[in-house]
Amino acid sequence: MIRLDQVSKQYNPGRANGLFVLRDVSLAFAENRFTCLLGPSGCGKTTLLNLIAGFIAPTSGRVLLQNVPIDKPGPDRGVVFQDATLFPWMTVLDNVRFGLSQQGLDQEHCTAVAQEYLDLVGMLPHAAAWPISLSGGMRQRVAIARILALQPKVMLMDEPFSALDAKSRERLQDELLRICENRPVTVIYITHNVEEAAFLAERVIVMGPAPDTIHADMQLPSRRPRLRLSPEFADTTAMLRAELDTLPCCIAASKQREDGL
């Protein structure tokens, strides 16, 4: 469904301090599959996501959605950020309804669709609430509903639960998998959390130091949903940790821990 062909991204090209974040990356993402991009900060995860979103253009190579080059953002790709970025002057219902109304749809239809997706994420009872009155987890539920209401082909998620407490994060991970089961969508999800990738993903792409960032491309063995306390989950987590520990930056960090630094 999504394909990157020999994609490179360089910031400040042509200058002495020009920096390659990605170089000659070729990847394909299948329809209705959940892929996690896992790796430390600075390895190009967000740059790769921004290329697919159409927020930035590659320095060389092509990014395609269903064989059509991506050259700008579009409603076929919804993005959920770390912060929910809701409009504070709009109610929960109006936030979800906004994108639909921008498409020129009938207001009654917009309201019905917005209510449907708020119900899907468990936020319909809070439709009249203002974002400031919601917890971080509740705001992210609304942000997900706002994207899903547009029925995108692809959902791009940039560490959407990283700012939440552990219990809220696990609850939203459960909800996200339930939503994907009920409304199949292609998901590309950025995380630096090994347990999160092990729980959510069908496929994990481990990324390392730029610019040669694709370190491993792994199909996870067990079916979802996974039980966090099961031996299979522990094995999957250990497998991903082993891959991360072979990265140069992770080796350096391990050495510092051994030296007591």
**Residues 208, 249: Cα–Cα separation, whole Å:** 8
Q: Say what the pLDDT of residue 72 is.
A: 93
**Residues 97, 206: Cα–Cα separation, whole Å:** 36
Query: Would you say residue 25 lies in a domain?
Result: no
**What are the pLDDT digits (tens) for 65-91?**
999 999 999 989 999 988 888 999 999
The percentage of the chain sitting over the pLDDT mark of 70, rounded to a whole number, equals: 92
User: Considering Cα of 167, then 189, then 41, then 49, what sign does the dihedral take?
Assistant: negative
User: Considering Cα of 137, then 142, then 148, then 152, what sign does the dihedral take?
Assistant: negative
The model's confidence at residue 252, banded by pLDDT at 50, 70 and 90, is very low
Residues 175 and 206 reside in one and the same domain: yes
Q: Say what the pLDDT of residue 6 is.
A: 94
Q: Give the chain's domain count.
A: 2
**What are the pLDDT digits (tens) for 22-34?**
999 999 999 999 9
Q: How far is CA 128 from CA 134, 140, 146, 147, in A?
A: 11, 16, 15, 19
Average per-residue pLDDT for the chain = 87
Nearest to 1 by CA among 63, 58, 54: 63
Residues 162 and 125 reside in one and the same domain: no
Residues 164 and 228 reside in one and the same domain: yes
**What are the pLDDT digits (tens) for 40-71?**
888 889 999 999 999 999 999 999 999 999 99
Residues 159 and 231 reside in one and the same domain: yes
Output the domain CATH number for residue 209: 3.40.50.300
Residues 235 and 116 reside in one and the same domain: no
The model's confidence at residue 261, banded by pLDDT at 50, 70 and 90, is very low
The model's confidence at residue 197, banded by pLDDT at 50, 70 and 90, is very high
Q: Which strand ranges, in their side-by-side order, compose the sheet holding 19-29? A: 19-29, 2-11, 60-65, 68-69
Q: Say what the pLDDT of residue 14 is.
A: 64
Residues 138 and 106 reside in one and the same domain: yes
Of 126, 151, 176, which residue is a domain's last? 151
Query: Would you say residue 166 lies in a domain?
Result: yes
Residues 232 and 196 reside in one and the same domain: yes
Residues 144 and 108 reside in one and the same domain: yes
What is the b/e burial string over 78-105, where b = at least 16 CB atoms within 10 angstroms of the residue's CB?
A: bbbebebebeeeebbbbbbbbbbeeeee
Residues 107 and 234 reside in one and the same domain: no
Residues 54 and 159 reside in one and the same domain: yes
Query: Would you say residue 249 lies in a domain?
Result: no
The answer to whether residue 220 scores a pLDDT higher than 60 is yes
Q: Say what the pLDDT of residue 26 is.
A: 94
The answer to whether residue 133 scores a pLDDT higher than 90 is yes
Domain, as residue range, for 102: 86-151
The percentage of the chain sitting over the pLDDT mark of 90, rounded to a whole number, equals: 55
112 close to 96: Cβ distance less than 8 angstroms: no
The model's confidence at residue 254, banded by pLDDT at 50, 70 and 90, is very low
Residues 163 and 105 reside in one and the same domain: no
Query: Would you say residue 250 lies in a domain?
Result: no
Query: Would you say residue 261 lies in a domain?
Result: no
Supply the pTM of this predicted model.
0.87
Q: Say what the pLDDT of residue 87 is.
A: 93
* Residue labelled with tokens 């995860």: 45
